[in-house]
Amino acid sequence: MKFADLGLSDELLQSVLDAGYDEPTPIQAQAIPAVLMMKDIIGIAQTGTGKTAGFVLPMIDILAHGRRRALMPRSLILEPTRELAAQVAENFEKYGKNHDLKMALLIGGVQMGDQVKALQDGVDVLIATPGRLMDLFERGKILLTGCDLLVIDEADRMLDMGFIPDIENICTKLPAQRQTLLFSATMPPPIKKLADKFLSNPKMIEVARPASTNTSIVQHKVRCTTRQKREVLRHLLRTDNVSTAIVFANRKTTVRELAKSLQSHGFAAGEIHGDMDQNSRNAELQKFKDGDITILCASDVAARGLDVKGVSHVFNFDTPWHPDDYVHRIGRTGRGGATGRAFTLVSDEDLESIENVEKLQGTKIPEFKIEVAEKPERKPREAKPERAEERREEEPKRESRRERPAREERKPRAERAPRAEAVPEPRPEPRAERAPRSEPQRYRDQSEPPSKPGEWNGPIPEFLAVSAL
């Protein structure tokens, strides 16, 4: 089957051919005609099979007819992460170059000013993450009453990130009569409940078993200890014909440490994780796409939507805690019909997680044998005696600074000359006691005896004498 058989316009077909595609993937072949017929759709397909183009292409033809209005987008695409939202925006720019369509990208981590201005000018396609969309809606910067087409992408990831309540809230603000498309790699019960609530008689399109992995990806697991992981990773990067690779870790701190470690060993490595601002994340991703760096250490923010051509390998430095994330991680390689290789480093702490992954897939991941030389263990220090008396007997006496220069000339204590006794210096004579100062004459009368407390023997002050008169 060709793209020309799916009912797309000539302008859109030309854009697809210019992008280098001629034949649709199975999910595209089934989804595009149904979307053009204005049906609700539930699309279940493994990652990397072209779900994005499955809704972007028909949306462009649908939106080609109509008029945009200020603050009222005509269609809405909800994405769980900023990277995935940016990836969808790139698809619209690539395939919609022959159409007069305006698009706005609403994501966190960037200034709102340009986003608000784009909404005021009017947009045909609004691509947003739920958090930023709700923020602008509550500020009165956007109206959703004119949105006739809703796409919920990567719905299972939305569930993992806790966005389902936000999505339900957003759906209540959209027109009741609309077309809704829901795409996901897996279909857990909460997503099924969401689909039953907000989709009307949807068509189910399932081209692969939920949570199945791409058959063009060769998977391996490597048993090693936690301390051996970095050494094993460097060995595989050097010996397995790696052109470009993504190394996934569970924690952001591990991602940072891995990137620094690989750089110190001569690898062109970068990093991307949730603690980085959006501009830094975009810059690192662009370096990876341009080939300035060949190894990208990443957290699960890059597990979905990261579409970089030519990624030959994916390494799971840690086995993901959620088995569904394993499917998305290794799906960054083997895209567009290409082959790829995926290695998962498994220590004792990862055994339960890798068992859950194998249970989800229904198959055992073959083990890749690798010889790693064990580092010699440090000799334990001899235990020091606990009692102070024993410590004094076994440990040599420390030398003072005065004794060190004359270490060779020292003699036994018995042969040493007796130390001369120090002659005490004469003490200075004490100062003679000073005579007490005499009190001024005006305060006392020498002829009178000392006064008792409360009595005055001196002359009467002038003011008291006047008052007495």
Q: Report pLDDT digits (tens) over 173-183.
A: 999 999 999 99
* Rounded Cα–Cα distance for residues 86 and 97 (Å): 16
Q: Last residue of some domain: 308, 341, 361?
A: 361
* Residue % of the chain over a pLDDT of 90: 50
Question: Among 116, 108, 349, 333, which residue's Cα sits nearest to residue 216?
Answer: 333
Residue 378 in any domain: the answer is no
Burial class (CB in 10 A: 0-12, 13-18, 19+), 319: buried
State the pLDDT at residue 238.
Answer: 94
Residue 96 in any domain: the answer is yes
**Which CA distances in Å does 59 have to 80, 113, 149?**
20, 27, 9
Residue 15 in any domain: the answer is yes
On whether the CB atoms of residues 457 and 444 are closer than 8 A, the answer is yes
DSSP 240: T
Residue 465 in any domain: the answer is no
212's tokens: 């199945």
Tell me the pLDDT of the chain averaged across its residues.
Answer: 82
pLDDT tier for residue 391 given thresholds of 50, 70 and 90: very low
Q: Tell which wins on pLDDT, 207 or 220.
A: 220
3-state secondary structure of 8: coil
Q: Give me the sign of the Cα torsion angle 33, 34, 39, 42.
A: negative
Residue 318 in any domain: the answer is yes
**Which CA distances in Å does 96 have to 23, 53, 90, 121, 395?**
18, 11, 10, 19, 83
Residue 302 in any domain: the answer is yes
Question: Among 186, 212, 217, 210, which residue's Cα sits nearest to residue 366?
Answer: 217
Residue 407 in any domain: the answer is no
Are both 16 and 97 inside the same structural domain? yes
Beta bridge partners of 315: 247, 343
Over the stretch 54-72, which tens digit does the pLDDT of each residue have?
Answer: 999 999 999 998 888 888 9
Cα three-residue angle 463-467-469, rounded to 5 degrees: 120
Q: What are phi and psi of 186, to 5 degrees?
A: -130, 165
Whether the per-residue pLDDT at 223 is higher than 90: the answer is yes
* Rounded Cα–Cα distance for residues 325 and 49 (Å): 16
User: Picking from 120-124, 227-231, 303-307, which range would have the lowest pLDDT averaged per residue?
Assistant: 303-307
Are both 177 and 281 inside the same structural domain? no
Please write down the HEC assignment for all residues of 344-399. Answer: EEECHHHHHHHHHHHHHHCCCCCECCCCCCCCCCCCCCCCCCCCHHHHHHHCCCCC
Whether the per-residue pLDDT at 416 is higher than 60: the answer is no
179's tokens: 């077309």
Other Cβ atoms closer than 10 A to 211: 21
Mean pLDDT confidence for 300-309: 72
Are both 181 and 234 inside the same structural domain? no
Are both 325 and 348 inside the same structural domain? yes
- Among 44-58, 74-88, 380-394, name the most confident range: 74-88
On whether the CB atoms of residues 246 and 298 are closer than 8 A, the answer is yes
Supply the pTM of this predicted model: 0.63
Q: CATH no. for residue 193?
A: 3.40.50.300
Number of domains in the chain: 2
User: Picking from 26-35, 143-152, 293-302, 310-319, which range would have the lowest pLDDT averaged per residue?
Assistant: 293-302
Whether the per-residue pLDDT at 157 is higher than 60: the answer is yes
Over the stretch 96-155, which tens digit does the pLDDT of each residue have?
Answer: 999 999 999 999 877 888 889 989 989 999 999 999 999 999 999 999 999 999 999 989
Q: Last residue of some domain: 164, 180, 206?
A: 206
Mean pLDDT confidence for 411-415: 54
State the pLDDT at residue 399.
Answer: 52
Residue 392 in any domain: the answer is no
Residue 232 parent element (H or E): helix 229-239
368's tokens: 């890749």
On whether the CB atoms of residues 273 and 340 are closer than 8 A, the answer is no
Are both 69 and 201 inside the same structural domain? yes
- Domain interval for residue 110: 3-206
Over the stretch 159-172, which tens digit does the pLDDT of each residue have?
Answer: 888 899 999 999 99
Whether the per-residue pLDDT at 95 is higher than 70: the answer is yes
Are both 289 and 234 inside the same structural domain? yes
On whether the CB atoms of residues 84 and 304 are closer than 8 A, the answer is yes
First to last CA, the chain: 135
